[in-house]
Each structure stands twice: as structure tokens, then as C-alpha cells.
Amino acid sequence: MRAGVQAIACVLLMGVLLTSSGCIEVHLVKNAFYPEEGVPVYHVVEKVKMSHVFSTRIGNVSSIEHTSSRTADIKKDTHWMKVDISITMESLPVPLPPDVQRYIEVKITMPDGTVWYSETFNTTVNRSLEIMSPMPGDWLFNVVGVGYGSDIIQYHDAYSITARVEEVK
């Protein structure tokens, strides 16, 4: 019986020492069981995922054109929004008709109608954007483009856009 009491006393003593020593792991465990009142919990959420790979069909002009839109509902008290844009648009090994101009235009509009970002690309690029405390509401992501793609020459113009936010859980 005495050994049992000593074991319990030892465990309690270790618990007191660990909680008073400031160990991060102890705070994480403590907060998991007893979260602090009134402190919001944040997490990262993917709000927009857009992509397109051009595949041109000979004689079909609409196969070189592309338009897409998505909205992202941004909550009040969102910490940040990060947008990653990836464009693939290299020099082609085959000539296109002179009236065909390849491009991809990306436009991001805030809920109040103000254009936050707008850029037209005609070359390969990777871009990362960030806004702290974005305006709450529906953000509009628009993409318009003319591109070329062919399995025969193993080349495709393409884009990818991902928007993530850190928001209240």
C-alpha cells in the first residue's frame, strides 16, 4: 500500500513540476482539455481551387478559349488570404495563325467591387499574393484566356489558382 501512495505522490509531483516549468507540450495538452475561454481558434481553409489545361481541337476555335469564375466566402476576422497563381505558357514549336494571341488574365475582385488584383500573362510564371485581414464577404476570382494544347507535340498551356485563408474555426 505504501508503494501505491508513493507512486501517486510521484506522479502528482511530476505533474506539478511539468505544469509549472512552462513546457509547450503541457500547455497544448492542457488547452486541448480546457481551452481558454473567449480565445478564437483559427485554422487554414482552402477557399478556391481553379485550374485548366488547354487542349486545342483543329477547326474548333472555341477550344482555344476559356473562361472560369469562382467565389470565396471570406468570414469576418479572417487573419489572411494567400493566393497562389501558376501559369504555363511557353514558346510553341508550331506557329499559330497571326490573329491568335495567347494569354491568361486573372482578376480578383473584393466584395465591394474593387479590383484587388488584375494581371494578364503570356509567359510561364508563378506568383504568390497575400492580404492581411481581407474584407469579409464574397471575393470573385475570374480567369479569361486563350491558349493552345496538343498531345501530338506534347505541350499544353495551363493555369492553376489556389486561395487559402486562416479563419475562425
- Report phi then psi at 24, rounded to 5: -60, -45
Cβ proximity of 96 and 157 under 8 Å: no
Residue 1 has what pLDDT? 59
Of residues 159 and 7, more confidence is placed in: 159
20-47 residue pLDDT tens: 555 555 555 666 666 666 778 899 999 9
Residue 97 has what pLDDT? 80
114-128 residue pLDDT tens: 999 999 999 999 999
For a pLDDT cut of 70, what percent of the chain falls above it? Answer: 78
Residue 17 has what pLDDT? 60
Residues 6+ apart with CB under 8 A from 160: 50, 51, 84, 85, 86
Mean pLDDT score, 142-156? 92
In angstroms, the CA 24 to CA 94 distance is 60
Residue 16 has what pLDDT? 62
Burial class (CB in 10 A: 0-12, 13-18, 19+), 88: buried
Query: Considering the entire predicted model, what is its pTM?
Result: 0.75
In angstroms, the CA 136 to CA 154 distance is 42
- Report phi then psi at 91, rounded to 5: -65, 140
Residue 116 has what pLDDT? 98
Domains in the chain: boundaries: 2-33, 42-168
DSSP 36-83: PTTPPPEEEEEEEEEEEE---BTTBGGGGEEEEEEEEEEPTT--EEEE
Q: Check: CATH 2.60.120.380 for 42-168?
A: yes
The SS3 of residue 11 is helix
In angstroms, the CA 36 to CA 15 distance is 20
For a pLDDT cut of 90, what percent of the chain falls above it? Answer: 60
**Maximum Cα interatomic distance, the chain, rounded to a whole number of Å:** 94
95-111 residue pLDDT tens: 888 888 999 999 999 99
